[in-house]
Amino acid sequence: MAGNSFGQLFRITTFGESHGEAIGVIIDGCPAGLQVDLDYIQGELDKRKPGQSKITTQRKESDTVKIISGVFEDKTTGTPIAMLIPNEDQRSKDYSHNVDVFRPSHADYTYQTKYGIRDHRGGGRSSARETAARVAAGALAKLLLKTQGIEIVAHVSSVGKINAPNVFINDPMEFIEEREKNIVRCADPATAEEMIEFIDSVRKDGDTVGGKISCYVKNCPVGLGEPVFDKLHADLGKAMLSINAVHGFEFGSGFDGSEMRGSEHNDIFVKSHLGDIQTITNFSGGIQGGISNGMPIEFKVAFKPVATIMKNQATIDSEGNAAEISGKGRHDPCVVPRAVPIVEAMAALVLADHWLRNRNARLI
């Protein structure tokens, strides 16, 4: 099975299955001498772990990460870093009814057809459980970026048709503190309450709902990104679309920009009072020609409703016969709140990789 690695200079490979003994990640290319804050890494994992609140899945995992190589005296050595996260609450029997039937909108049929074998216990490699390994690696990438003053923050900006107003980020830490005051991880308190009430009603109905996450990169230097196929927004798009349940990615003005005229959409350059070059507007989302221009990088990620619902659904079995899949097991009515650290992690992995490439872009 190919496709388990991501990145070029800062490269990760994840491994493990949802109901196996453990999941984990190998990080290759992290520079030596980076101070590793294990508490920070664990804190990022705690934001993604299941069982956090009534509006997320009730699977109980501590997601305790262990670094087993590549770090000595709390600093990276420049060698491959291995992180391991044991699985603790698999409850594989919950999936015994899935052995011979294909769950609607899951990867059961495609995996069975492609490989001739599949792990029916929660989907195996196709499960979003794998993203915990990405969050661990992304936390290390964040620590690397913080040494350059680069900060990445995200929040839930919509659930269903409930949309939060645009937010202004002055201090990234204050933004995160505000976001973490509610279980839906929306930085606007009034909208958060409305979202929570709606998600809870969806949960009680045995159904699911999707939403969007808005992500912002602050203090990104000019020059990250490569022509032609490794454009920064192209790599961000690939990273985000690789996350389970993601069905859409847009940066800057996104799809709304297609309804504007060029005279409205062009970002006019000016020199700031500090002497650096900025743009009056940021419809480009901080990226022009595939390369960061020094303005905040802004993008949105759209998540579909997760496919596991607590309702019986018509389907077929592996022989093509009509069947019914029963709605039982654990239920995640809205995955978006737990996806915030995943989006941040994948953005960090892209930016860390491009920062290392940009560091070597000039001979002088």
Annotated binding site: 48, 54, 125-127, 244-245, 289, 304-308, 330
Helix (H) or strand (E) holding 155: strand 151-159
Contact predicate 354/224, CB 8 Å: yes
User: Which letter does DSSP use for residue 299 in this model?
Assistant: E
Which DSSP string do the residues of 162-194 spell out, in sequence order?
Answer: EEPPP---S-HHHHHHHHTTSTT--SSHHHHHH
Binding-site annotation, residues for NADP(+): 48, 54
40 phi/psi in degrees, rounded to 5: -65, -45
Return the half-sphere exposure (C-beta side, CA atoms, 13 A cut-off) of residue 70: 22
Give the list of residues 6+ apart from residue 278 with CB closer than 8 angstroms, or none.
Answer: 269, 270, 271, 272, 294, 295
For residue 87, give the nearest of 14, 24, 12, 4 by alpha carbon: 24
Q: How far apart are CA 63 and CA 49, in angstroms?
A: 6
Residues 6 or more apart from 153 whose CB is under 8 A from it?
Answer: 169, 172, 175, 176, 179, 215, 216, 218, 344
Place of tokens 């959409």: 265
> What values do phi and psi take at 291, rounded to 5?
-125, 140
Other CB atoms within a 10 A radius of the CB of residue 146 amount to: 17
Binding residues for FMN: 125-127, 244-245, 289, 304-308, 330
- Count of beta carbons in the 10 Å neighbourhood of residue 73: 7
* Phi, psi (rounded to 5 degrees) for 211: 175, -170
